[in-house]
Amino acid sequence: MNDQVNTTVIGSYPIPIDLQQLMDSYFHAKSPSWNPVILQAVDDMVTAGVDLISDGQTRDPFLHIFIRGLQGCRIRARAEVIGPILFDAPINTGDLEFVRSFLPRRIKLLGLLIGAHTFSESVVDHFYHDKKQLAFDVADALAQEAHAMEPFVNMISIDEPSYANSFPEYAAELIDRMKRYVRCPIRLHACGDISSIASSVVDLPVDVLSHEFAASPQLFDVFCEYESKKHFCVGVVRSDDAMVEPVSLIHERMMKARDVFGDHIAQFSPDCGLRMLPRKIAFLKLQHLVKTARKMYD
């Protein structure tokens, strides 16, 4: 791909977990390693030809990765906040360092952060009883996580799927807090139909806006209405449908994106994380995405 437009992912990638292998490590009093799982996810993304990959976010549902890593949280039947949210130690850098250790130099790496608003919307809060205060404490803690992951990544993606349901008036402040220790480019991913908040989203303090245009093509018309100098990561492959789109359909979506965003297209991606799809389907979707983008830009 050219330097201006990259193929990329949103984050998660489906790798079946070998539970017997994990139990074997337990029975032999060895620390269970997640590296073989990460390796498979990265290998698929690289083999498919993606320019900017993630670590596959294979360990857990996205929220749980951060719930496990931050102080003040625990997981019971649901994720719970039981005390002040504090940064304890880097959460993702071990995995990112591992990926960097074998990733070809030409491939770029994406660091993934849950958005502070989505975090606050997704937990059972037994401590703050104040969603805004909770979100700001999460943002402060995740700012340190962003700082820890920056040496390993080319871009950090903040994932705010809850925007589609609730958009806080302090969204920009939260993002400013989260990115205050880093200089790398920041992407904001907000999936779902965000038509009603698009006018606010285009002003958020990030470098790239990432949205699902394949499942919500009406967003093309919505963004036509707003002048923005932002760059876009355009979702052109559905992540909620196991049908592998033909190159012709993806090409149609990319052409539409080019009509709407012109030179402001920075990335093409699936609409969202791929973890709910079978691995084979996820791989084929990425392959078709890359093939189509290359056809357009190379």
Partner 1 sequence: MFSFTKQQQVLDVGSIKIGGQPGQHPTVLFGGLFFKGAPDFQQAKDQLNTMVSISERTGVPGVADFFFRKHDYIEDIIKFIIDQIPDPMPFSVDIQDASIKIEVLQHLHDQGLLSRTIYNSLHIGVTDEEREMLSSNTPSAAITVAFNPKDRSPDGKLEVLETSAHLLDQGLLSIAQSLGIKNLLIDTAALAPGENSGSAIAALPVIKEEYGLPSGCAIHNVVEKSIWLQNLPDALPVVDVASNSDIPLFGGDFVLFGPLKHASFVFPTIAWQDILISEYVESYFGVSPSDRHPRRILMK
Least distance between partner 1 and beta carbon 59 (Å): 6
Closer Cβ to partner 1, 64 or 131, answer by number: 64
Question: Which of residues 20 and 248 has its CB atom nearest to partner 1 in the complex?
Answer: 20
Q: Residue 159 CB, nearest distance to partner 1 (Å)?
A: 18
- Helix (H, G, I), strand (E, B), or coil: what is residue 160? coil
What is the CB neighbour count within 10 angstroms for residue 289? 27
- Give SS3 for 111: strand
Give 46 or 82: the residue with its C-beta nearer to partner 1: 82
| Shortest separation between residue 93's beta carbon and partner 1, angstroms | 17
Q: Which is nearer to partner 1, 61 or 90 (CB)?
A: 61
CA proximity to 264, closest of 2, 4, 1 = 4
Neighbours of 114 (CB within 10 A): 24
Contact indicator for 188, 204 with CB cutoff of 8 Å: yes
Smaller CB separation from partner 1, 30 or 106: 30
Q: Which of 155, 163, 148 is nearest to 269 (CA)?
A: 155
Nearer to partner 1, 40 or 154 (CB): 40
**In the complex with partner 1, which residue's Cβ is closer, 58 or 118?**
58
Give the residue with the Cβ less far from partner 1, 4 or 25: 25
- Count of H-run helices and E-run strands, the chain: 11, 11
Token pair belonging to 182:
């880093």
The whole-angstrom separation of Cα 92 and Cα 121 is 22
| CB 34, min distance to partner 1, A | 8
Least distance from C-beta 39 to partner 1, angstroms?
16
Q: Rounded to an integer, what is the distance from CA 251 to the centroid of its chain?
A: 23
CA-closest candidate to residue 83, choices 137, 162, 136: 137
CB of 152 to partner 1, least distance (A): 21
Footprint on this chain of partner 1 (rule: CB under 8 A): 17, 19-20, 22-27, 29-32, 34, 59-61, 64, 68, 74-77
Listing DSSP states for 238-297 in one string gives -SS--S---HHHHHHHHHHHHHHHGGGEEEEEESS--TTS-HHHHHHHHHHHHHHHHHHH
Output the smallest distance, CB 64 to partner 1, in A.
8
Q: How far is the CB of 27 from partner 1 (least distance, A)?
A: 6
DSSP per position, 152-208:
G-SEEEEE-GGGGT---TTHHHHHHHHTTT--S-EEEE--S--GGGHHHHTTSS-SE
**Spatial separation of the C-alpha atoms in residues 71 and 274, rounded to whole Å:** 28
